[in-house]
Amino acid sequence: MIQTPDADFDVTNIIQSDECSPLTTNGADLDLMLGKDYGALKDIVINANPSLPPLSLLVLHSLLCERYKILSAVHTHSSVKSVPENLLKCFGEQTKKQPRHEYQLGFTLIWKDVPKPQMKFSIQTMCPIEGEGNIARFLFSLFGQKYNAVTSTLIDSWVDTAIFQLKEGSSKEKGAVLRSMNAALGKTSWLVGNELTVADIVAWGALQQTGSANAAPANVQKWMKSCENLAPFSSVMKLLK
């Protein structure tokens, strides 16, 4: 049951009738989403603290790589003394065979002393985006998925829950989130509907970092397995070891 301001209005049925298409089919025009093209590489810059790697963003990076031709780079900012080797190689070995401008998108990850992840794209027309959840939303939007208002609200709500309660909340809050996740995953195979959304990615990342993954209820465990069966998740899993 979804809580809406108008408590009489139950949207549960609407959601179930909503169809989500798989990530790989929809065509998305990057130029349309990211603004005017000047014939140069469009570079997304993400600053993140190596003491708390934003796992969901790394998963999204892998997913984006499946869709677009992406030039990935990892740098260390001078505000950080040392970064573990596995984080420096989190995008694997990069072989740049083509000229930079032939890539559709640049993805530059900078390990930096920041309180929370930060994303910069166009500094003229866009303010920096702060917080792992918000950046995840932006990156996910690049797949060009269209959802109806209710579904997107639901996805948004799960992203916030994952970041503020599952990742940063008290153990009591975490327990509550796990229970509601378990309930949701009893009905559908993913948190929202039957296709993977940003909600799953962020929630999975948060759960990995809380360390309570093993204590999760059955449906959540099953869901985590489904996540980890996907290559982008399993490659990020390897980073944690």
Partner 1 sequence: APRESGLRVCGWRRPCLGDQKQPCPDYAKERYGVSSMIQSQEKPDRVLIRIKDLTVEKADEVVWVRGRIHTSRAKGKQCFLVLRQQQFNIQALVAVGQHASKQMVKFAANINKESIVDVEGVVRKAHQKIGGCTQQDVELHVQRIYVISLAEPRLPLQLDDAVRPEVDGEEDGRATVNQDTRLDNRVIDLRTSTSQAIFCLQSGICQLFRETLIRKGFVEIQTPKIISAASEGGANVFTVSYFKSSAYLAQSPQLYKQMCICADFEKVFCVGPVFRAEDSNTHRHLTEFVGLDIEMAFNYHYHEVVDEIADTLVQIFKGLQERFQTEIQTVNKQFPCEPFKFLEPTLRLEYREAVAMLREAGVEMGDEEDLSTPNEKLLGRLVKEKYDTDFYILDKYPLAVRPFYTMPDPVNPKNSNSYDMFMRGEEILSGAQRIHDPQLLTERAQHHGIDLEKIKAYIDSFRFGAPPHAGGGIGLERVTMLYLGLHNVRQTSMFPRDPKRLTP
Residue 75 binds partner 1 (CB under 8 A): yes
Contact between 222 and partner 1 by CB under 8 A: the answer reads no
Q: In whole angstroms, give the CA distance from residue 191 to residue 180.
A: 10
Q: How many Å apart are CA 153 and CA 134, to the nearest integer?
A: 14
CB of 176 to partner 1, least distance (A): 38
* Cβ-based nearer residue to partner 1, 36 or 241: 36
Smallest separation, CB 70 to partner 1 (Å): 16
Compute how many other C-beta atoms are within 10 angstroms of the C-beta atom of residue 153.
Answer: 16
- Decide whether 45 or 213 has the Cβ nearer to partner 1: 45
Nearest Cα residue to 203 out of 151, 167, 152:
167
Q: Which of 112, 137, 167, 174 binds partner 1 (CB under 8 A)?
A: 112
Q: Which is nearer to partner 1, 135 or 203 (CB)?
A: 135
Comparing CA positions, the residue from 27, 18, 19, 21 lying closest to residue 143 is 27
Nearer to partner 1, 77 or 187 (CB): 77
- As a whole number of angstroms, the distance between CA 148 and CA 240 comes to 35
Is 81 or 225 the residue whose CB approaches partner 1 more closely?
81
The answer to the question of residue 30 lying near partner 1 (CB under 8 A) is no
By CB under 8 A, name the one of 25, 78, 171, 229 that touches partner 1.
Answer: 78
Give residues with Cβ within 8 angstroms of 190, minimum separation 6.
Answer: 196, 197, 199, 200, 223, 226
In 3D space, the residue among 166, 218, 177, 223 whose CA is nearest the CA of residue 197 turns out to be 223
Q: Tell me which residues touch partner 1 (CB under 8 A).
A: 36, 38-41, 43, 45, 47, 75-79, 99-101, 108, 110, 112, 120, 122-125
